Structure 1
């Protein structure tokens, strides 16, 4: 991933859902050793009201702002307790009213390493603790200072996440917390005003906290889950009255939604995932309605005939 939020979130935390065995960087599922899962995903979000600071309003000069993303995501199991995840999105934006033109282009390459250091049975249930580290880097020189129609913020990021997962039978609950460091960016003007005048083209970007909770049904071939998530910037400032958003604004959002993941029995290895979410509260973000769909295929290199398997260094 994910509205102002969706247009930016891919460069911050990428909360897009993935396939069942093709786990995401936020759930309690791992790929087995020498398995790779890869496929396309699509997301769509739109909003016609947004929060200018804490004041909720619309804007006839924007109408409905739509952000769409088409991306490729892949996961590889180095071992059954160590996975790598990668994502590359193409994003395009549009406003239904006014004179602002939408933007489009390749956004940021993102990657994570996901490690499962703790897995313990407690009574009839099982507790797992995951550690995730990753980041993102912009691949093109897209315009960051063109919100809310920019495709991203063009900031390099580094993040650390802890995930706690509990499963009892088919019931599960997963919670995670993430802190994301964001690099400064440069914009195409020699001075700008936030709460004071800055005689520079360099923008100091606030870092980001995000939290995610999901719970529901999980079996070997399907997941149905309710999801709640929150994003809070560690700093920033509010959009000034009747002004455009700025990359270093405070951007807070709380979203609720539901997702599913399903693995087909035939053809074996084919997975589909989808869902939607709604922004219920925010600050300097759009009140978006969003949905996503993705299709993935799992390849198991451990089952290749001897002599054709990739070299195993583990």
Structure 2
């Protein structure tokens, strides 16, 4: 069973998730699944994501705002994944984001957001009963690629903070069915604003903002074969600090942004064109704090290239 892993995982590649305030990741969260790409294989992909919300939580109070209407964003992301070894993958993503508010005077923003690099290591695989149990360690880092403005939420394209994160993932698969769980912690740098004072829950005379860190818990289960992957996903994102949006005020980068999200994806690998994959999915914010009740839909095209000295069997 262990010897068949490179062939099994050949059919799959990874999508690095991005974080955007008030928008839930396409985190079709494939930096958080148990799939690897073999050594000297490269997966290139293009991902399109659309999200929108009308209702949002101002603290714990759910409301809408006629000065915003419906807030929507479109994201076009170039992604890549290369197998350094059969147990270590390196991934990257670069998103271009546009935002728009359907009402009021807020002008939508657009631009290249953050470059994200990820190392994904298969730390352990062992057979338990009739299934395979695996443990992955995943480290990521991101840096802003443009001088976009974070102090213009909810239409900002990001928070302009550098970040590093660690994720532990466990997965158990028996036959075609699997169940997985993951925990992640994200450390974020301070950011600077284009003003010399701001108000959180008190007045601060500075242009530097102390950004709270973030934790994430994820549970997924579904069906996985060489050709078809169908997956259900439930996640909880919790900000470690921050404060609530004040009544009738704009959101702020260091707000507490918590959300519970449910979604799913379908991934199909073509038999007639080796290496070609299509992925479709979406998710919905069930409950949140200082975030929009976002509906998120995405689609992706991937193609896997073999740079090994000989073709895989």
Q: Could you tell me which residue of structure 2 aligns to residue 43 of structure 1?
A: 49
Query: In the alignment, which of 139, 148, 165 is matched to residue 142 of structure 1?
Result: 148
Where does residue 220 of structure 2 map in the other structure?
214
Separation in 1, partners of 2:21, 2:101:
12
CA contact (8 A) 1:43 1:292 kept: yes
Query: Quick one: distance in 1 between partners of 2:22 and 2:127?
Result: 38
* Counterpart pick for 1:244 among 250, 275, 285: 250
Query: Which residue number in structure 2 is paired with residue 226 of structure 1?
Result: 232
Tell me the equivalent position of 1:15.
Answer: 27
- Matches of residues 1-314 of structure 1 in structure 2 within 5 Å? 1=18, 4-6=21-23, 15-17=27-29, 24-303=30-309
Residue by residue, what CA displacement relative to the aligned partner does 1:182-236 show, whole Å, maximum 9, x if unpaired?
0000001110010111000000000000111110000112110111111100000
Cα distance in structure 1, aligned partners of 2:96 and 2:154: 17
| Counterparts of 1:4 and 1:185, CA distance in 2 | 14
In structure 2, what is the Cα distance between the partners aligned to 1:242 and 1:29? 44
User: Using the alignment, how far apart are the partners of 1:236 and 1:31 within structure 2?
Assistant: 38
Whether the 8 Å CA contact 1:3–1:286 is kept in 2: the answer is no
- Cα offset, 1:267, TM superposition: 1.3
Is 1:30–1:81's contact at 8 Å kept on the other side of the alignment? Answer: yes
Query: How far 1:3 sits from its partner (Å)?
Result: 8.2
Distance 1:3 1:157 in 2: 13
Secondary structure, aligned partner of 1:25:
helix
Task: State how far apart, in whole Å, the 1-side matches of 2:196 and 2:247 are.
Answer: 23
Aligned-pair CA distance for 1:16: 3.6
Distance 1:303-1:273 versus aligned 2 partners, 3 A rule: farther
- How far apart, in 2, do the equivalents of 1:186 and 1:2 lie? 19
Contact kept, 8 Å, 2:42 with 2:83, in 1: the verdict is yes
Mapped contact 1:185–1:204 kept (Cα < 8 A): yes
Q: How many positions carry a matched residue from both structures?
A: 294
Shift of 1:266: 1.7
Output the aligned Cα RMSD: 1.3
Moved over 6 A (4+): none
What do the CA deviations read for 1:31-89 (whole angstroms, capped 9, x no partner)?
Answer: 01110001110000000000000000000000000011001011000111000110000
Q: Is the CA contact (8 Å cut-off) linking 1:108 and 1:138 kept in structure 2?
A: yes
